[in-house]
Structure 1
Amino acid sequence: MHTGLDLAQDAVALTAQLVDVPSVSREEKALADLVEAALRDVPWLRVERDGDAVVARTELGRAERVVLAGHLDTVPIADNLPSRMDAGGLLWGCGTSDMKAGVAVQLRLAATLEAPNRDVTYVFYDAEEIAAEFNGLKRLVDRHPDWLAADFAVLMEPTACRVEGGCQGTLRVEVRTTGKRAHSARSWLGENAIHKAAPILSRLAAHEPRRVEIDGLVYPEGLNAVLISGGHATNVIPDFCTVTVNYRFSPDQTQEEALQRVRDLFEGYEVVLTDSAPGALPGLSHPAAAAFVEAIGTEPTAKAAWTDVARFSALGIPAVNYGPGDPALAHTREEHVAAAAVLEAEEKLRGWLAG
């Protein structure tokens, strides 16, 4: 049994309280219940819920609406709960960086900004850390796109308090070879499918990834073999081999264009798409995005990963990533967040929304 969330405490203490409620993906209900209950006590918010996703909105009739979104789930706990604060001002624990510090900032703003200069939609969702079919934001897009309607969105993924625009797209393919099975003592009677995969790896090793500039941000691409499998036993010439290739592509390409680029590279081989997600353009030329960048006061950079900003982009909503955690610490046993960064993120966002 967890006590109710105290939204009057500072964002660092609130982060610790959130961290101490375990919420591994698909097990977010306890935390979602606490978030919903706390927000329903805020008189200027309209609160709605779908599964373990909670959406709270101001309805002030402002000329512009923005979304602040963050996921409630974490990766599996790695002997790093409960949270602990050290003498150097670092809060340690599962989810501190990715991304309960960002969620704490959202909750603090929701509870204390009665009359922001823009209408705000606060989105807290489930199952971001696992397969896309379970993603709570995807479910909201499918079921309640009207809940997400806005002019601009901020996904509070960890960025070390820097604005990261858009995101890469990602796809995975299997590049397959076939051969003929034989006893390895009489290998000349077979065709080795694993040996046939050597040119696939050579093409990958020789590939020069693109670096694409969009709105002044440079997106570095990556095309890499991430898995290889084949064969039956140590005394059998293999008759199949599969190289799994992951392409992280710049958002100047559609998924179809990115797939064709991969097919062209592996011409002559069977190429099977296994999963794909679009990138998101940074949209920094949009007035709402430009105002956000100015308020934060740091030079924006490209997001060298895929994030849920792509879901907002698909709805025609320009979006950026911004949060207090360090992305390099996400999913690690040593995950932590600096108290100063949590307070800085709250201060910057409060200045943007109340200035």
Structure 2
Amino acid sequence: MSDIALDPSLGSVDLTRQLCNIFSVSGEERAIADAVEAVLAERAPHLTVTRDGDTVIARTELGRERRVAIAGHLDTVPVNGNLPVRDERDPETGEAVIWGRGTVDMKAGVAVQLVLAVELDDPAVDLTWIWYDHEEVSSDLNGLGRALRNRPELFAADFAILGEPSNGTIEGGCNGTMRALVTYAGKRAHSARSWMGVNAIHRAGAALERLSAFEAERVLVDGLEYREGLNAVRISGGVAGNVIPDRCEIEVNYRFAPSKDLAEAEGVIREFFADADTVEIVDRAPGARPGLDAPLAQQFVEAVGAPPVAKLGWTDVSRFSGLGIPAVNFGPGNPLLAHADDERVPIAQIEATERALRNWLNR
């Protein structure tokens, strides 16, 4: 067990500070997972706790008719002079904030979840609390995905909430994402006799012009507006300063509305790059529909008291949606500040998120 003592009784604001000051860059989550497991063992006898690597799963077994899963990731992107955290005033709004790595993405949300997991021993629904590792890196390392594969029986639920930063409002579903390597071939020649070859970089130019002119669609899905995007994110090509290149490779990322499945998204990419020599799909993850027509989701929207919006990005709600579990994002912090060096979360949002979840789970 951990020698780092967390104290949820101090509330989610103080607990946010404690959690953020535990170094937990992706791949180094052991200390924070140990600390979470230790506080549950000490203060939450009403929960059955399971550990899978550095993922901690805690469940009530009250025999309720419905079960809600509430999840948050423990890791952060690399630190850049922004730990330990400190209290400040937001330079734009003047409100009190906690500044530093992990405050937004997403240890304030984790703090809210841990406070309520310890406190709520008789909620209106059965609860599955999940704190997982390796969210900020390659999806094949994701602790939630690993635990789902290893212990699928622990994740059955009627509704799921992911504590990703959402400014304390509900963000429904998420976009899907797909990456492809698009290759244009040519023929090498000496640059002094360029007409003897075929310049692969020049061949790729038309595709880059199409990408530059691409206008992202706005797609309504179950009443929420998602924005799509297709962008070049990396390009490589060239042999030497006096050689006509015979290969140019463009890596593209397609963010698509959850109304499309993976096959439809792949079809968009292949049609867009029909003039390429090869198109290789190297990463893919489906989106998640908002799921707001589920009775529990409707009750949650009513409890939060603000209209939901679309999640313009990919999150692990997709994993729950893939299991047929309606899922939303709900957590403190501005998602536009996630990973920023001046990452900061409003204290009032942490408190409001805690109140909304507590009131709903106790209804």
| 1:145 counterpart = 2:147 | no
Q: Distance in 1 between matches of 2:45 and 2:3?
A: 23
- Superposed CA offset, 1:5-64 (max 9, x none): 111101110000001110010100001001001011211111111110001111111111
Root-mean-square deviation (Å): 1.1
Task: Tell me the secondary structure at the aligned position of residue 202 of structure 2.
Answer: helix
- Residues 193 and 241 of structure 1 are in contact (CA less than 8 Å); yes or no, is this contact kept in structure 2? yes
Determine the C-alpha separation between the residues in 1 that align with 2:206 and 2:341: 38
Partner residue, 1:337? 345
In structure 2, the partner of 1:103 is 110
Aligned to 2:62: 60
For residues 129-140 of structure 1, the aligned pairs below 5 Å read 129-140=136-147
1:205 offset after TM fit, Å? 2.9
Deviations 1:199-242 (A, max 9, x none): 11122233333221111101110011111110111211111001
Distance in 2, Cα, partners of 1:141 & 1:287: 24
Task: Give the aligned residue type for 2:32.
Answer: L
Aligned to 1:230: 237
Match in the other structure for 1:8: 9
Matched, 1:278 2:278: no
Deviation (angstroms), 1:320: 0.2
The aligned amino acid for 1:4 is: A
Unpaired segments ≥5 residues, structure 1: none
The DSSP-based 3-state class of the residue aligned with 2:165 is coil
Deviation at 1:76, TM superposition (A): 0.6
Matches within 5 A, 1:1-355: 2-41=3-42, 42-86=44-88, 88-269=95-276, 270-355=278-363
**Partner Cα distance (2:275, 2:118) in 1:** 59
Instruction: Please give the secondary structure, in 1, of the residue aligned with 2:239.
Output: coil
Q: Secondary structure at the match of 1:76?
A: coil
**Counterparts of 2:5 and 2:54, CA distance in 1:** 17
Shift of residue 157 of structure 1? Answer: 0.3
Sequence identity percentage: 55
Which residue identity does 2:300 align to in structure 1? Answer: F
State the distance in 1 between where 2:21 and 2:216 align: 42
Residue identity matched to 1:80: N
Deviations 1:50-92 (A, max 9, x none): 1100011111111110011000000011111111112552111
Q: Is the 8 A contact 1:2 1:21 kept in 2?
A: no
Match of 2:8, SS state, is coil
* Secondary structure in structure 2 of the residue aligned to 1:8: helix
C-alpha distance in 2, partners of 1:85/1:268? Answer: 54
**Range 225-234 or range 158-167, more displaced:** 225-234
Aligned residue pair count = 355
1:2 Cα offset (Å):
4.8
Say which SS state the counterpart of residue 167 (structure 1) adopts: coil
Amino acid at match of 1:34: A
Shift of 1:261: 1.3
CA contact (8 A) 1:170 1:246 kept: yes
- SS of the residue 1:197 aligns to: helix
CA 1:336–1:2: 2 relative to 1, 3 Å:
farther
Deviation at 1:187, TM superposition (A): 1.0
Post-superposition CA distance 1:266-317 (Å, at most 9, x none)? 2132211111111111111111111111111111110000000000001110
Q: Secondary structure at the match of 1:219?
A: strand
Structure 2 runs not aligned, ≥5 long: 90-94
Worse overlay, 66-75 or 84-93: 84-93
TM-score (norm 1): 0.98
* Distance (whole Å) between structure 2 residues aligned to residue 110 and residue 265 of structure 1: 48
CA distance in 2, matches of 1:340, 1:75: 24
Alignment partners' CA distance in 1, 2:296 and 2:9: 29
Secondary structure, aligned partner of 2:49: strand
Q: Is the 8 A contact 1:28 1:126 kept in 2?
A: yes
Which shifted more, 309-318 or 175-184?
Answer: 175-184
